[in-house]
């Protein structure tokens, strides 16, 4: 395939190929017979609670609210029910790259003057899931809690109940840790909660990386325990070889409740307010029709980091001047809406060639026999992501020495793994540049390690 400078040819070929691969993959994986959602019946004119966005947060909120039998709960999700490729951990990366063409909002950053120089048009892709389960249906599944200082800081900003000691019991309650005893940090984990957490493969790469940490004077630890600074093996939100997004682990088991209505492939256009500025319902676009549904108690906005402020602003809640410029009637002048987006920067592309056989390459993992094994008993290479390992460190000399500011992440994949077909486009990287990560002569036959900082 010719390398296209502007990426147009490459991205057309990629879109075409994804269009061919995805239906075949779905047909094949349908045989895995993943449990389905219970159908919800016709939409009612009113509910007690309306949850906007069936992503990571929304699925938990809707599921927990519907535990109260007397409350009727509506969850509205813009995307479809998750297709089978999103369930399979061993192809999660590929699914994420492929999902760019169907399960993603396709947001990009504004072109940058001084950054993203290896990206097409100096514009980055902001991957956000548009599917039941949200971004957790397409993400890396790594189970990683924040640093305790993050939560304490939230409380200090004026949010009582969000400090570490207050949120820890909820981490414990939600978790179903499926590994062996964790020793000293066992009390920081739960067993039997809805969110399955399974230790990843800890092979030679992990062992070497952890040993490297020890040689540098770092502890090898459970980074979800009391201390975070150190080197750690990865745990994933996976149950018995299946991605455990909150849609899978919270919402699906609740979907048979008669008081919970799950409406997918429908978009909330606006939150409706009464004269006292109380949210009393939403306007939904469902199958080409616009309908209004009333909420007797609350509207919960869990549409994600971009869509939540966008929806609030479209509904008249945001900075007055900005709303007026866009001819939106102001319900409440709230200057903070849409401000202070924080994301973590990832530096990719640091690659090393490692000894053949140290860890299985992608081709060695995705084979007819691994598919057969997965379809038969959800085991084998497709039941888990490739080996990965992290170092949580503090790079800056300033501030609290226990407040991590970087994660060094090692995993046996480079962006050139698919010869630049989907991956660069999915992340917005210039294809020519991404192919520099490629190792000769057979990029797919040798194992590589990339690192993110």
Ligand X SMILES: Cc1cc2nc3c(=O)[nH]c(=O)nc-3n(C[C@H](O)[C@H](O)[C@H](O)COP(=O)(O)OP(=O)(O)OC[C@H]3O[C@@H](n4cnc5c(N)ncnc54)[C@H](O)[C@@H]3O)c2cc1C
Residues near ligand X (CB under 6 A): 52-58, 76-79, 96, 127-131, 134-136, 139-142, 144, 267-268, 302-305, 307, 311
Q: Indicate the residue among 243 and 438 with the shorter CB distance to ligand X.
A: 243
Q: Which is nearer to ligand X, 77 or 418 (CB)?
A: 77
412, 446 Cβ separation under 8 angstroms:
no
Nearer to ligand X among residue 51 and residue 280 (C-beta): 51
CB nearer to ligand X: pick between 220 and 269:
269
Taking the C-alpha atoms of residue 192 and residue 33, their distance in angstroms, rounded to an integer, is 24
C-alpha to C-alpha distance for 209 and 217, rounded to whole angstroms: 13
Residue nearest to ligand X as judged by C-beta position: 55
Instruction: Give me the torsion for CA of 163, 75, 255, 179, rounded to 10°.
Output: -30
CB of 92 to ligand X, least distance (A): 9
Helix/strand/coil for 332: strand
Q: Which is nearer to ligand X, 268 or 323 (CB)?
A: 268
Work out the angle at residue 50's Cα, subtended by the Cα atoms of residues 243 and 335, and round it to the nearest 5 degrees: 95
Residue 54 or 190: which CB sits closer to ligand X? 54
Nearer to ligand X, 120 or 303 (CB): 303
Q: Nearest distance from residue 140's CB to ligand X, in Å?
A: 3
Q: Contact at 8 Å (CB) between 423 and 415?
A: yes
Reference 167, options 190, 138, 192, 191; nearest CA is 190
HSE value, Cβ hemisphere, 13 Å, CA-based, for 77: 28
- The separation between CA 247 and the C-alpha centre of its own chain, rounded to angstroms, equals 12
DSSP state of 207: H
Here the tokens at position 348 are 């990719």
CA angle 66, 70, 73 (to 5 degrees): 40
Report the chain's terminal Cα–Cα distance, integer Å. 31
Minimum distance from CB of 58 to ligand X (Å)? 6
Minimum gap (Å) between residue 138 Cβ and ligand X:
7
DSSP, residue by residue, 254-311:
HTT-TTEEEE-SEEEEEEEE-TTS-EEEEEEEETTEEEEEEEEEEEEE-SHHHHHHHH
Nearer to ligand X, 371 or 384 (CB): 384
For 230, phi and psi rounded to 5 degrees?
150, -175
Q: How far apart are CA 103 and CA 81, in angstroms?
A: 10
Q: Please, what is the angle between helix 92-99 and helix 8-29, to 10°? A: 130
Q: At what angle do helices 148-156 and 164-174 cross, to 10 degrees?
A: 130
Enclosing H/E stretch for 390: strand 389-393
Instruction: Between 205 and 271, name the residue whose CB sits nearer to ligand X.
Output: 271
Tell me the closest approach of the beta carbon of residue 144 to ligand X, in angstroms: 5
- For ligand X, the closer of residues 96 and 434 by Cβ is 96
DSSP type of residue 443: T
C-beta closer to ligand X: residue 80 or 401: 80
Least Cβ distance, residue 94 to ligand X (angstroms): 13
| Tokens at 121, concatenated | 């048009």
């Amino acid at each position: 395939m010719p390398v296209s400078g502007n990426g147009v040819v490459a991205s057309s070929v990629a879109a075409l190929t994804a269009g061919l691969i995805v239906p075949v993959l779905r047909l094949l994986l349908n045989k895995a017979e993943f449990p389905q959602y219970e159908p919800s019946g016709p939409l009612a004119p009113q509910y007690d609670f309306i949850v906007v966005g069936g992503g990571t947060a929304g699925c938990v909120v809707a599921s927990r609210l519907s535990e109260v039998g007397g409350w009727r709960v509506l969850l509205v999700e813009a995307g479809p029910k998750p297709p089978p490729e999103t369930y399979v951990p061993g192809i999660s990366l590929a699914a994420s790259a492929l999902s760019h063409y169907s399960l993603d909002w396709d947001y990009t950053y504004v072109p940058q003057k001084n950054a993203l120089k290896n990206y097409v048009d100096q514009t980055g892709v902001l991957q956000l899931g548009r599917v039941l389960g949200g971004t957790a249906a397409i993400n890396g599944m790594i189970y990683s809690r924040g640093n305790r200082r993050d939560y304490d800081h939230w409380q200090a900003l004026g949010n009582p109940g969000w400090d570490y000691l207050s949120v820890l019991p909820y981490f414990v309650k939600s978790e179903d840790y499926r590994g062996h005893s964790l020793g000293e940090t066992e009390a920081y984990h739960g067993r039997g909660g809805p969110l399955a957490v399974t230790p990843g493969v800890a092979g030679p790469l992990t062992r070497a990386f952890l040993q490297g940490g020890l040689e540098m004077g770092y502890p090898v630890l459970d980074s979800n325990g009391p201390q975070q600074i150190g080197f750690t093996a990865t745990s994933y939100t996976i149950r018995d070889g299946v991605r455990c997004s909150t849609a899978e682990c919270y919402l699906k088991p609740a979907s048979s409740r008669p008081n919970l209505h799950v409406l997918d492939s429908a978009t909330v256009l606006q939150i409706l307010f009464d004269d006292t500025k109380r949210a009393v319902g939403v306007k939904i676009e469902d199958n080409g029709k616009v309908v209004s549904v009333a909420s007797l108690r609350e509207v919960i906005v869990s549409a994600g980091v971009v869509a939540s402020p966008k929806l609030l602003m479209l509904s008249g809640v945001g900075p007055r001047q900005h709303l007026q410029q866009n001819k939106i009637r102001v319900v409440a002048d709230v200057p903070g809406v849409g401000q202070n987006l924080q994301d973590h920067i990832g530096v990719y592309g640091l690659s090393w060639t490692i000894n053949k056989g140290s860890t299985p390459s992608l081709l060695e993992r995705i084979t007819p026999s691994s598919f057969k094994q997965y379809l038969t008993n959800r085991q084998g290479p497709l039941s888990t992501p490739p080996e990965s390992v992290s170092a949580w460190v503090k790079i800056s000399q300033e501030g609290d020495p226990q407040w991590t500011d970087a994660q060094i992440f090692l995993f046996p994949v480079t962006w050139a793994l698919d010869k630049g077909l989907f991956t660069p486009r999915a992340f917005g990287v210039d294809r020519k540049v991404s192919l520099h990560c490629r190792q000769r002569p057979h990029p797919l036959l040798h194992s590589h390690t990339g690192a993110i900082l």
